[in-house]
Amino acid sequence: MALKEGWRGRFFEDFEVGDVYRHPLGRTVTTTDNIWFTLLTQNTAPIHFDHHYAAQTEFGRPLVDSTFTLALVTGQSVTDVSQNVFANLGWDEVRLPAPVFEGDTIYSQSEVLEKRESKSRTNVGIVTVKTTGYNQNGTAVITFKRTLMVYKSGQAPQPVYPTLEEEK
């Protein structure tokens, strides 16, 4: 049996300013996602969970909680941007140019804006990306800048896997 290493994400050295990563997985937002997230976060705005109320608004239907959209699009970017994160430092300039509705499918991509060495830690670097989430029609529904500390190659904690002999 051949052991093949899976994708382990990018390390600081792998980022280049100007690179764009199209994140591989889209996700359709369900009514359950919207209601659960809204209630879990104690958001009492009825536009998110009361279909009768939402039908009376200019949208005519519930809006997806915008913090769900932020969390979803951030999550979509992890495999390309922050799989090897030491720490998130911040989200800035969060914009919501178009609403997200239940049933929309969200896709995303990130562009590397800045990269620099950490002044306080030699095992990480600091990367800033701009991430954009799109709906199934290609309309941007969220944009934000995210700054994070990313481990340098060979500096991240390592998972422990059994050897092939131990698996038998």
For position 1, what pLDDT does the model report? Answer: 64
Q: What is the pLDDT of residues 24-52, one digit of tens each?
A: 999 999 999 998 998 899 998 999 989 99
What domains lie within the chain, and their CATH numbers?
Answer: 16-152 (3.10.129.10)
Residues 6 or more apart in contact with residue 27 via CB below 8 angstroms: 72, 76, 105, 106
Q: Where are the beta strands (DSSP E) in the chain?
A: 20-22, 27-28, 85-95, 105-117, 124-134, 140-151
- Reported as a pLDDT band with limits 50, 70 and 90, residue 162 is confident
Give percent above pLDDT 90 in the chain: 82
For position 102, what pLDDT does the model report? Answer: 94
Say yes or no to pLDDT of 56 above 90: yes
**pTM greater than 0.75 (yes/no):** yes
Say yes or no to pLDDT of 163 above 90: no
Task: Give the chain's length.
Answer: 168
For position 161, what pLDDT does the model report? Answer: 75
